């Protein structure tokens, strides 16, 4: 089976892991953690970064840091990996699901503005209150779907109007640009990255939170390190043990050295599939809005008509790991009752997406096999 997206450990991973073992720095303190944080700051254009045990845990800590409190609502797009909503729930808040834009599959600024205008009134502390539930809205979490930034200028303007902080879920976004600006200049107060095994660069597992406000990033660091004060056993609040280990960071450092090359490869895979399928009836490429240069985490196509599930199954039978993409969050048991607006685009798109093998180590022969299988199946139907 040609896999969907597997790690490409082509650099100094083994050497750096050996250094961890030789020096006994295998746990949460060690030089690779600090180096990894600097690499992420540099690659994202943010001033400060804290590495975390996972993207989900980083997002949880970031939400708490920007002021999300129990009982609040946090606006998220209706289409995301469940971890976005889980992090909100870990903060004892609830996601408020808003539709995505069909040209980017990211949070739609118009739907966001409409939802806030029609459904909220200003609360005592200046933050909006969601009239149907009486809950305070305390943050917006745009998701950079497939490594595609959301339309952040428009979203940031709305966030400013309602005094809402933005925590971006850029789990697969490293390498992306928006209006030719880097991730650190897109208007999010904090941005989360994931280094899970299926991401363009991996640390085996792990995450990071980046920001430009030193105090805010330090607060995230404090929360992720048991809210410890000083060198003894003093803690000033209920914190979390969300630190990244030096072992994870060692792999992460080696991978970050390859980031530019890997993102280029991801974009080349995506261009290759788009080009190879452009004459295929009933298919269209993944979105590519003017405002963003996606990091192209996943590649594939949209099946305009026909049964995408049986197409994916037929491709898998031919040794091509074709997969579906995320389900809208309201389709997930824990979030079935989350407040939501009309999710027309989410509902219309999710079940027509076919993701295709796009590991950075994929060979030309494998790419040709994938294309031939897709063409055979789509044309044969």
Ligand X SMILES: Cc1ncc(COP(=O)(O)O)c(C=O)c1O
CB of 27 to ligand X, least distance (A): 19
Judged by CB, which is closer to ligand X: 80, or 224?
80
Give me the least distance between CB of 143 and ligand X, in Å please.
5
Query: Residues 359, 10: contact at Cβ < 8 Å?
Result: no
- Are the C-beta atoms of residues 330 and 336 closer than 8 Å to each other? yes
Q: Which is nearer to ligand X, 84 or 255 (CB)?
A: 84
Give dist(CA 336, CA 187) in Å, integer: 30
The residue among 273 and 325 lying less far from ligand X, judged by its C-beta, is 325
Q: Measured from the CB of residue 261, what is the shortest distance to ligand X in angstroms?
A: 22
CB of 195 to ligand X, least distance (A): 6
Nearer to ligand X, 198 or 276 (CB): 198
Q: Tell me whether residue 16 or residue 195 sits nearer to ligand X (CB atom).
A: 195
* Helix, strand and coil in the chain, % to nearest 5: 40, 20, 40
- Cβ 199 to ligand X, closest distance in Å? 7
Run of H or E residues at 359: none
CB of 308 to ligand X, least distance (A): 20
Please, what is the minimum distance in Å from the beta carbon of residue 145 to ligand X?
A: 7
Per-residue buried b or exposed e for 231-247, using 16+ beta carbons within 10 Å of the residue's own CB? eeeeeeeebbebbbbbb
Q: Cα–Cα distance between 381 and 377 in angstroms, integer? A: 6
Min CB(288)–ligand X separation in Å:
19
Token readout for 57 is 């845990």
- Determine the 3-state secondary structure of 324 from DSSP: coil
In eight-state DSSP terms, residue 206 is -
Question: CA 99 to CA 347: how far, in whole Å?
Answer: 9
Nearer to ligand X, 8 or 202 (CB): 202
Rank residues 74 and 314 by Cβ distance to ligand X and give the closer one.
74
* Smaller CB separation from ligand X, 41 or 57: 57
Which one, 192 or 311, has the nearer CB to ligand X?
Answer: 192
Closer by beta carbon to ligand X, 127 or else 168: 168
Judged by phi (left if over 0) then psi (alpha if -120 to 50, else beta), residue 317 lies in: alpha
Phi, psi for 100 (deg, rounded to 5): -100, 165
Dihedral over Cα of 183, 186, 191, 197: its sign: negative
Q: Are 357 and 320 contacting, i.e. CB atoms less than 8 angstroms apart?
A: yes
Least distance from ligand X to the Cβ atom of residue 56, Å: 3
Closest C-alpha to 128, from 171, 75, 179: 75
**DSSP code per residue over 220-281:** HHHHHBTTB-SSSS-BSS---B-BPPHHHHHHHHHHHTTHHHHHHHHHHHHHHHHHHHTT-T
Question: Rounded to the nearest whole angstrom, what is the least distance from the CB of residue 307 to ligand X in the complex?
Answer: 26
Q: Nearest to ligand X by Cβ — which residue?
A: 55
Q: Which residues bind ligand X (CB under 6 A)?
A: 54-56, 80-81, 83-84, 143, 169, 171-172, 194, 196, 207
């Amino acid at each position: 089976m040609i896999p969907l997206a597997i790690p490409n450990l082509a650099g100094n991973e083994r050497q750096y892991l050996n250094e961890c073992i030789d020096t006994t720095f295998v746990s949460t303190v060690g030089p690779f953690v600090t180096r990894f944080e600097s690499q992420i700051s540099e690659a994202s254009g943010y001033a400060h970064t804290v590495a975390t045990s996972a993207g989900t845990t980083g997002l949880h800590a970031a939400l708490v840091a920007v002021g999300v409190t129990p009982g609040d609502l946090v606006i998220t797009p209706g289409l995301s990996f469940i971890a976005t909503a889980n992090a909100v729930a870990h903060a004892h808040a609830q996601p408020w699901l808003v539709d995505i834009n069909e040209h980017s599959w990211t949070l739609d600024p118009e739907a966001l503005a409409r939802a806030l205008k029609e459904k909220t009134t200003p609360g005592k502390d200046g933050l909006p209150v969601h009239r149907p539930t009486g809950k305070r809205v305390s943050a917006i979490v745009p998701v950079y779907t497939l490594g595609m930034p959301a339309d952040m200028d428009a979203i940031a303007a709305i966030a400013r109007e309602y005094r809402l902080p933005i925590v971006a879920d850029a789990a697969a976004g490293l390498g992306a640009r928006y209006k030719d600006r880097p991730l650190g200049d897109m208007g999010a107060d904090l941005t989360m990255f994931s280094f899970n095994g299926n991401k363009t660069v991996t640390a085996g597992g792990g995450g990071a939170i980046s920001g430009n406000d030193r105090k805010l990033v330090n607060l995230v660091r404090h929360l992720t390190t048991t809210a410890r004060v000083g060198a003894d056993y003093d803690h000033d609040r209920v914190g979390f043990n969300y630190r990244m280990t030096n072992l994870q960071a060692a792999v992460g450092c080696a991978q970050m050295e390859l980031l530019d090359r890997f993102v280029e490869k991801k974009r080349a895979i995506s261009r290759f599939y788009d080009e190879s399928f452009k004459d295929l009836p009933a298919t269209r490429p993944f979105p590519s809005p003017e405002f963003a240069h996606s990091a192209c985490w996943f590649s594939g196509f949209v099946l305009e008509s026909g049964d995408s599930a049986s197409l994916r199954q037929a491709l898998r039978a031919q040794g091509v790991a074709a997969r579906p993409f995320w389900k809208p969050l309201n389709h997930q048991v824990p979030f079935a009752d989350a407040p939501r607006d009309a999710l027309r685009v989410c509902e219309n798109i999710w079940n027509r997406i076919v993701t295709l093998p796009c590991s950075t180590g994929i060979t030309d022969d494998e790419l040709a096999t994938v294309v031939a299988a897709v063409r055979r199946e789509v044309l044969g139907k």
